A = this chain, B = another copy of it.
Amino acid sequence: MPKKTFLRLDAEKQERVIRSAIGEFNKNGFERTRIEDIAAGAGVAKGSIYQYFEDKKDLYIYCAEWGLAVFMKKLDGYAPTSDMDIFEYFADTLTKIRVMQEEKDLIAFLSLMTQEPGLAEASMAGMYQVGDEYIVRLIANSKRKGSVRRDIDDEILKEYFIGITDRFERRWMSRYLDFSREIPPEQNEMVQKELAQMLELIKNGRG
């Protein structure tokens, strides 16, 4: 838990500190990250970090919570509507990728977090859960509408969809990491073409 001093800081400075920390943790992992570098990156003195947080671990955990909250808020704008079909949802993957691409540092941090032993495991649970809930809802909607077969267990369908989409999202996302802002149109076309093939496989099978 950050100290009250940190919470009284103006939002801009808070974010500067957290983003710097996330960047460093991301680059080096928890142990190899030096508080001094985080401080330098945020343009404050090392001592200040200790005015804000109990210790390095406290800072890390706050980064996790903060990052998770920001990420979830972003994702929220991409939540499936109550009667949305899973295919409609996937059709718009490009938007999702773009949203995530804006926060690539954050996402990299969140996914590395899962590997840090004994730090923020608790915070993580929530993250996966949200994604899972979306898929579960979409499967229910789709079964109701008849666009997804009803003879397969929901659990299996969930794993199947997550397996495929995670893999492709990662693949596509990595294509956008290099571009800072302007994305060449052929990039988008390429993704759309691959997406179409992916959906085709899901719909008509025979791998």
Give chain B residues whose Cβ lies under 8 Å from the Cβ of A189.
none
Interface residues of A in 101-137 (CB under 8 A from B): 112, 115-117
Given contacts A156-B194, A198-B160, contact A206 B149 (CB under 8 A): yes
Q: How large is the interface on A (under 10, 10 to 19, 20 to 34, 35 or more residues)?
A: 35 or more
A202 to B: closest C-beta gap in Å = 4
Q: Which residues of B contact A166 (CB under 8 A)?
A: 163, 167
- A186 part of interface (Cβ distance < 8 Å): no
CB distance from A99 to the nearest CB of B (A): 21
A74 to chain B minimum Cβ distance, whole angstroms, is 24
A202 touches B207 (CB 8 A): yes
In the assembled complex, the CB of A117 is this many whole angstroms from the nearest CB of chain B, namely: 6
Given known A-B contacts A207-B86, A207-B148, A167 and B159 have beta carbons under 8 A apart: yes
Query: B residues within 8 A CB of A205?
Result: 201-206
